[in-house]
């Protein structure tokens, strides 16, 4: 007999290059990890270090599926990001040991209800409803580090309807990947199945219903989705 008194939620999973599924436990995100983006958001990267927030695991959109235009916003923004997939957990991980905890990498989109975020900032309220709404995290196939190596540099970009909107380089991260893992693992114990969206370069902007998005990280892969009508 089933002990669960409502239907058990499904295990969220992301397809892996070469086959198999990466089961998702938690989704962490880094805020303001590229200086030019921090400045376009009105911040000062010299004074304010990057920081973390989260999305629910079931906010991910996989397999190139359409992303519905979310409710309660008139300013949905794109943020293309490199995503880390944690394969080996731990706490207090050193930067030198960090690559050994990464299973692989993917391209992802940290979709943001920018109007709700601006209101939350002004009211000193949390960002959850600006960042963690349903279908706020489209993600591409995860490429294993055993296949592609570890990604410290390379072009990251986003095209909307074939036009370039964001273009940056992973080497411009304020916290490179090993520093992200070190900083996050001092705050929470990481575990297999965790994903980390590592922040967006500058050029974020609004999306419209029907827009077709293609994010790319050189040597990692793509994330593709269409915003619903």
Which residues of the shown chain bind Mn ion in the complex (CB under 5 A)? 79, 110, 200
For the bound state, the minimum distance from the C-beta of residue 57 to Mn ion, rounded and expressed in Å, comes to 17
CA 131/CA 136 separation, integer angstroms:
7
Q: How far apart, in whole angstroms, are the C-alpha atoms of residue 188 and residue 51? A: 13
Assign residue 71 a region: left if phi > 0, alpha if psi is -120 to 50, beta otherwise?
A: beta
Q: Which is nearer to Mn ion, 16 or 158 (CB)?
A: 158
CB of 156 to Mn ion, least distance (A): 12
Cα separation, 173 vs 200, whole angstroms: 9
The encoded tokens of residue 152 equal 């410290």
> Of the two residues 17 and 35, which places its CB atom closer to Mn ion in the complex?
35
Query: 9: helix, coil or strand?
Result: coil
In the complex, minimum distance from the CB of residue 130 to Mn ion, in angstroms, rounded to a whole number: 11
DSSP 185-213: HHHS-B-TT-EEE----S--EE--TT-EE
* Total Cβ atoms within 10 A of residue 144: 18
Measured from the CB atom, the residue of 67 and 200 that comes closer to Mn ion is 200
When the beta carbons of 73 and 200 are compared against Mn ion, the nearer one is: 200
- Rounded to a whole number of angstroms, the minimum distance from the CB of residue 199 to Mn ion is 6
Judged by beta carbon, residue 110 or residue 224, the one nearer Mn ion is: 110
Provide the β-strand partners of residue 55: 27
Least distance (Å) between residue 154 CB and Mn ion = 18
Name which of 79 and 194 has its Cβ closer to Mn ion.
79
Helices and strands in the chain, H and E counts:
5, 17
The helix (run of H) or strand (run of E) holding residue 179 is: helix 177-187
CB of 204 to Mn ion, least distance (A): 8
């Amino acid at each position: 007999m089933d002990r669960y008194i409502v239907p058990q939620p499904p295990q969220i999973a992301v397809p892996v290059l070469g086959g198999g599924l990466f089961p998702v436990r938690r989704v962490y995100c880094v805020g303001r990890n590229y200086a030019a983006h921090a400045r376009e958001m009105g911040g000062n990267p010299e004074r304010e270090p990057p920081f973390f927030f989260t999305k629910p695991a079931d906010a991910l959109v996989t397999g190139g599926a359409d992303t519905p235009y979310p409710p309660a916003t008139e300013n949905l923004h794109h943020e293309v990001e490199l995503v880390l997939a944690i394969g080996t957990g731990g706490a207090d991980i050193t930067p030198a040991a960090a690559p050994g905890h990464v299973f692989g990498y993917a391209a992802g989109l940290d979709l943001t209800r920018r109007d709700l975020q601006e209101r939350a900032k002004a009211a000193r309220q949390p960002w959850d409803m600006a960042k963690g709404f349903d279908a706020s995290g489209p993600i591409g196939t995860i490429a294993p580090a055993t296949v592609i190596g570890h990604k410290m540099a390379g072009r990251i970009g986003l095209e909307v309807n074939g036009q370039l909107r964001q273009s940056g380089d992973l080497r411009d991260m304020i916290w490179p990947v090993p520093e992200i893992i070190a900083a996050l693992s001092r705050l929470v114990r990481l575990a297999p199945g965790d994903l980390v969206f590592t922040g967006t370069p500058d050029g974020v902007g609004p999306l419209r219903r029907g827009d077709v998005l293609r994010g790319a990280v050189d040597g990692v892969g793509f994330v593709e989705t269409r915003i619903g009508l």
